Amino acid sequence: MLALAGMNALTASGCVLIYWAAGSRCLTQGAFLVSLVVFFVVMSALWVRLERSVSGGRDGLSRLGRGTVALVLVVVGLPAIVLAPLFALQEAIPIDAGLTELIRPVMVLLLIALAFMVAVNLAGLGVLAVSALRASLTSRR
């Protein structure tokens, strides 16, 4: 479960880095889209590989539960790790420092990264479901 949670945190972090590079004009729009698609495919494939290697011979329900707990762990933990220090600094630093203007973009970027991470998990889950269905159909023949 911790391996999947680490994979989810890595996915969200990579998404943030890609958006940061595009936002700072280091990537063109085409390069941004290509990098997002490539990163999505790579992380989905790694998620499937990790899920298959870690779960072993577990049934589908326990695999789904483990993946869900790992996802919820990152969805709850990552915003707390990122936003708690920002809110604490907001109270300690004067308003003139401009930290207030930084919090909103960080929150939006965090929301985008979490949505991307959930999409990677759903894509990986879809690949596993199609793979299991295909194996089930071929074993009946």
pLDDT for residue 55 = 64
For the chain, the domain total comes to: 1
CB atoms within 10 A of CB 14: 20
**Would you call 51 helix, strand, or coil by DSSP?**
helix
Task: Identify the domain containing residue 49 by its residue range.
Answer: 2-139
* Structure token digits, residue 115: 């949505």
* Structure token digits, residue 37: 């698609």
pLDDT for residue 1 = 77
Give the predicted TM-score (pTM) of the model.
0.86
Sign of CA dihedral 51, 55, 60, 61: negative
pLDDT for residue 141 = 65
CB-based contacts of 87, cutoff 8 Å, min separation 6? 103
For residues 36 and 20, what is the distance between their CA atoms, to the nearest angstrom? 12
Split the chain (141 residues) into runs of 10 and give each run's mean pLDDT: 90 94 93 96 94 73 82 92 89 84 90 96 91 85 65
